[in-house]
Amino acid sequence: MRIIHTSDWHLGQYFYGKNRANEHQQFLTWLLTQVKSHNIDAIIVAGDIFDTATPPSYARQIYFNFISEIQSLNCQLVILAGNHDSVSMLAESKDLLSALSTRVIANVSDLDNNENLAEQVFILKNSNKEPKAVICAVPFIRPRDVIKSQQGQSASDKSLSLQQAIVNHYQALFEHAQQLVKESKLDLPIIATGHLTALGVTSSDSVRDIYIGTLEALPSNAFPAADYIALGHIHRAQKVGKTEHIRYCGSPIALSFDEAKQSKRVLMVDFDSNHLTSVTDLIVPCFQPLAMVKTSLQELSQVVEKLLAELNLRAEESKKLWLDIELIDSDRLSDLQSRIETLVEDFPVEILLVRRAKQVRQQLMAAQQDNSTLSELTLDDVFSSRLDQEEYFNQGSEKVNEYDGSEPHPESGIKAITEAEIAADSEVNIAADKVDEHKKRLQILFKQTVAQVLAKGSTR
């Protein structure tokens, strides 16, 4: 049995106003070539097929075209929802796509029902239609699907409850998979999937926090004893806990500038009977170069020229380098953008982002001379600056001693935000008893809210 493990396509992403359709189409064309040349039996896509819950029409078209083409290659396809994906949007076409050798698992549900078990645990067949593996197909697990909120439950208790619920869900699926293997009377490997953060992994700027104020990461020993565990959500390819069989394949294209230097890949996984025999990196070509440079305005031209030489990009090429420029100058120049464009006008580059180095911004803020634009600031910068204006957080230790956590603090400004949280996700726990805990939960909510607003804007 030979499968390809891929994830985090983020079809429909807009990157600082740039459409990624061409890159995604080239990637999927390349992936079809790999299926042909390596005789792949099945592809597992471990979540975040789309970048938003309401992807643009061209992204859906790319998705359906790929499914149509992969079916003609006699290759089974397993699609799992991620935290960026809409459950209803993926589910609406699952019955139709099942006729094209494609299984879509949009969400998890009550496993007391045998039909629900069969939805997530099933046999994978090779290109000759022979049973070759059993898969526990687990998409992104939303807290409301596996636990019920309890009033007054602390954040730490809630985190433990969610972790245990996820572990129990995996274990129930794994036991059913073992039963299928036994009934088949064949030596079949068991594959599990997931879309979450595992403990100890390295993330990137484009990865969104998925559990508000509760579970941060799942330890590797919480997964069942499957022969291979195909994970998604983290965009950097890596092993989990130094294991060979628990892996993130990473995203196939760079989704943020801090991923620019990463070698993108999909994983080709081979099994011999019920044993994992090898995991091979299939390196994805770079279809759109992008880079970050940290420099002074004076040295910008030399730095860009050197970078282009390293990337082997020539001025006459039609493909331009997308550039994020981080300036170390503290001077405020009204014509900064035009100066930069003049300095790089002879190079095959397109500037998507210009910002001050963080240290420079901090110095300017300390001197009360900071006029940074939003494009220069990270979400964390904006959030920290906003908290600095709140007396509740500046005098946190004194306020906490007076606050028992039973109700939103009258001076905290949390009440309105908490009501918005409840409307969006009933899993949010308002019984925080520490200022740091409030800050962290609000920070994650703030980042998710901004991401949702940007996502809505990108589909118009």
Question: What is the gyration radius of the CA atoms in the chain, in angstroms?
Answer: 24
pLDDT at 92 over 50: yes
Q: Could you tell me if 279 and 195 lie in one domain? A: yes
What is the phi-psi region of residue 47: left when phi exceeds 0, alpha when psi lies from -120 to 50, beta otherwise? left
Question: Cα(61)–Cα(12) distance, rounded to whole angstroms?
Answer: 10
Say whether both 353 and 383 belong to one domain. Answer: no
Q: Which of 375, 393, 420 is the last residue of a domain?
A: 375
In tens, the pLDDT along 197-221 reads: 888 777 666 665 554 444 567 888 8
Q: Looking up tokens 């039973």, which residue turns up? A: 406
Can you tell me the distance from the alpha carbon of 354 to that of 292, in angstroms, rounded to the nearest whole number? 10
Q: Are residues 113 and 63 in the same domain?
A: yes
Q: Dihedral of the CA atoms 270, 262, 443, 363 (nearest 10)?
A: 160
Residue pair 383/443 in contact (Cβ under 8 Å)? The answer is yes
Query: pLDDT digit string (tens) for 290-327?
Result: 999 999 988 999 999 999 988 888 765 668 999 999 98
d(CA 122, CA 380): 42
What are the beta bridge partners of residue 43? 4, 77
Measured from the Cβ of residue 50, the count of other Cβ atoms closer than 10 Å reads: 25
What is the signed CA dihedral for 274, 238, 28, 448, rounded to 10 degrees?
A: 120
β-pairing, 228-232 vs 190-195, is parallel
Q: Which of 272-276, 313-317, 348-352, 358-362 has the highest mean pLDDT?
A: 348-352
Q: Residue 452 — pLDDT band, cuts 50, 70, 90?
A: low
Are 79 and 163 part of one and the same domain?
yes
How high is the mean pLDDT of the chain? 81
Higher-pLDDT residue of 438, 338: 338
What's the pLDDT tens digit per position in 145-161?
888 777 777 777 777 88
Please check whether residues 320 and 201 belong to one and the same domain: no
Domain end residue (candidates: 375, 409, 444): 375
Tell me the three-class secondary structure of 244-255, residue by residue.
CCEEECCCCCCC
pLDDT for position 335: 82
Do 353 and 390 fall within a single domain?
A: no
CB distance 17 to 247 below 8 Å: no
Average of pLDDT values for 283-287? 96
Q: Are residues 273 and 299 in the same domain?
A: no
Q: How far apart are CA 86 and CA 95, in angstroms?
A: 16
Q: How many structural domains comprise the chain?
A: 3
Query: For residues 353 and 16, is the Cβ–Cβ distance under 8 A?
Result: yes
Q: Residue 181 in contact with residue 134, Cβ under 8 Å?
A: yes
- Write out pLDDT tens, residues 109-145: 777 777 778 899 999 998 888 999 999 999 999 888 8
Predicted confidence at residue 358, as pLDDT, reads 73
d(CA 83, CA 88): 13
Predicted confidence at residue 41, as pLDDT, reads 96
**275-283 vs 14-15, strand pairing mode:** unpaired
Average pLDDT over residues 328-340: 80
Q: What is the CATH number of the domain that holds 13?
A: 3.60.21.10
Out of 283, 316, 346, pick the residue that ends a domain: 283
> What does the pLDDT average to over 45-59?
95
Residues 277 and 234 in one domain: yes
CA distances from 370 to 99, 324, 365, 389 (A): 59, 20, 5, 16
- Domain that residue 184 falls in: 2-283
Specify whether 183 is located in the same domain as 219.
yes
Alpha helices, DSSP H only, in 72-200? 87-91, 94-97, 114-120, 143-146, 155-184
On the question of pLDDT at 350 being above 90, the answer is: yes
Both 344 and 396 in one domain: the answer is no
Is the domain of 68 the same as that of 215? yes
Q: Of 371, 397, 399, which Cα lies nearest the Cα of 385?
A: 371
Same domain, 278 and 314: no
Q: What confidence category does residue 98 fall into, taking pLDDT thresholds of 50, 70 and 90?
A: very high
Cβ contact 284:252 at 8 Å = yes
Q: Is the pLDDT of residue 429 over 50?
A: no
